[in-house]
Amino acid sequence: MLDRKVKIKSVRDLGSNNYLLTLNAAEQARLIRPGQFFMLKCVEEVDENPLLRRPFTVFNICRHARSGRPAGLELLIKDVGTGTRKLVRMKPGQIIHCLGPQGNGFKVSAEMKNRVEMACLVAGGVGIAPLYMLAQDLMRQNIKPVLFYGGAGASDLVLREYFEKLGMDTNYTTMDGSFGERGLVTEPLARFLHKRAHRNIRVYACGPWGMMQAVHKLSERGKLQCDVSLEARMGCSLGACLGCVVRIKDPHGEDRYLRVCQEGPVFDSRLIDWETEPV
Ligand SMILES: Cc1cc2nc3c(=O)[nH]c(=O)nc-3n(C[C@H](O)[C@H](O)[C@H](O)COP(=O)(O)OP(=O)(O)OC[C@H]3O[C@@H](n4cnc5c(N)ncnc54)[C@H](O)[C@@H]3O)c2cc1C
Ligand code: FES
């Protein structure tokens, strides 16, 4: 894990309070795996503001045009509060503190290609962030990724062109019907899985808690493994403060918790106590 100051290359407004932040961070880009995250200090000077660092997944690695070598990181940031607002208002050339990569990330291994035929990648809104690098990794193992991406309206379905350029099958849903199918992202997913019962499909999900719970239930019904990338408020990100814990199922009804920053953020959905959302 690196604790470095890095330079902002650009901040692109994607609409609907979403921004694509590009960092000149070649060292970090060489280390990152799909689903891992960085803790960013949302102000330039450490002493400027008492805000804690905030966790953000990496959307994409930028590469040098000629050599293809990693040059930086692209992060999708949704402006939801004090820290994210400060972050997306920063300017190219400004410096930010960047700690990571952290967390377990998604595991796509070479032996999976013999057991897994297809992968359903399910995103709600900004939950799309960890799925682009995952899609690329799956394709490298000859596992076909299929995207299910839902949002409130068309403008929430940001960065979908990245997935389309990979040649993936895509299914879009919006609650207002302004793009794709009207309704919840779990509806086309349920139809897709129903038509392909007994196929070797792996499910991956990131988004609001209720959406991931519904994806977990659909996966259980189809006896499919589902990995979810969880969000929790983080204090230290180093395993010490226990601010990020998620309750897990215990056969004896005991209280058991795992730390999203250390044991996660990616978990097998069968581990999670879906009745207890992290605070
Ligand atoms: C592992 C991980 C990866 C993440 N990746 C991304 C990403 O790629 N892009 C992105 O936009 N966001 C991501 N998030 C969420 C992001 O960290 C929060 O939105 C951010 O910390 C909010 O900071 P703030 O100061 O703007 O919000 P605050 O002013 O502190 O709070 C504003 C609102 O955001 C909620 N909130 C605050 N922190 C979190 C949190 N950690 N998770 C969920 N809700 C939170 C609060 O409950 C409140 O409703 C990720 C979170 C985790 C744990
Ligand atoms: S954020 Fe402190 S233990 Fe996870």
Contact 148, 178 (CB under 8 A): no
Range list for CATH 3.40.50.80 in the chain: 112-229
User: So what's the pLDDT on residue 106?
Assistant: 96
Q: Is 153 in the pocket of ligand 1 (CB under 6 A)?
A: no
Q: Which CATH class is domain 2-102?
A: mainly beta
Average pLDDT per 10 consecutive residues for the chain, totaling 279 residues: 95 97 97 97 65 93 95 97 94 95 93 91 98 97 96 98 97 98 98 93 98 98 97 95 95 90 98 91
Ligand 1 touching residue 237 (CB < 6 A): no
- Which residue has the CA at smallest separation from atom 36 of ligand 1? 233
Confidence (pTM): 0.95
Residue 261 Cα to ligand 1 midpoint, Å, equals 13
Per residue in 97-131, pLDDT tens?
Answer: 999 999 999 989 888 888 999 999 999 999 999 99
> What is the three-class DSSP state of 78?
strand
Mean pLDDT of the chain: 95
Q: In the CATH scheme, what architecture does the domain 231-279 have? A: Ribbon (2.10)
Residue of minimum CA distance from atom 39 in ligand 1: 233
* Ligand 2: lining residues by beta carbon, under 6 Å: 234-237, 239-244, 259, 261
- Give the ligand 1 atom nearest the CA of 42: 25
pLDDT (0 to 100) of residue 31: 97
pLDDT of residue 48: 58
Quote the Cα angle for 40-216-263, to 5°: 40
Whether residue 194 contacts residue 186, with contact meaning beta carbons closer than 8 Å, is answered with no
CB 249 within 8 A of CB 267: no
277: burial class by Cβ within 10 Å (0-12, 13-18, 19+)? middle
Domain(s) labelled CATH 2.10.240.10 in the chain stretch across 231-279
Distance in Å, CA 70 to ligand 2 centroid: 29
- Per-residue pLDDT, 35: 98
Cα–Cα distance, 27 to 3 (Å, whole number): 11
pLDDT score at 49: 61
Q: Ligand 1 centroid vs 80 CA: distance in angstroms? A: 7
Portions of the chain given CATH number 2.40.30.10: 2-102
Q: Is 15 in the pocket of ligand 1 (CB under 6 A)?
A: no
- Position 181 scores a pLDDT of 98
Residue 113 to residues 137, 182, 193: CA-CA distances in angstroms?
11, 34, 19
Q: Is the CATH number 3.40.50.80 carried by domain 112-229?
A: yes
Q: Is 192 exposed, middle or buried (0-12, 13-18, 19+ CB in 10 A)?
A: middle
> Does the CB atom of residue 240 touch ligand 1 within 6 A?
no
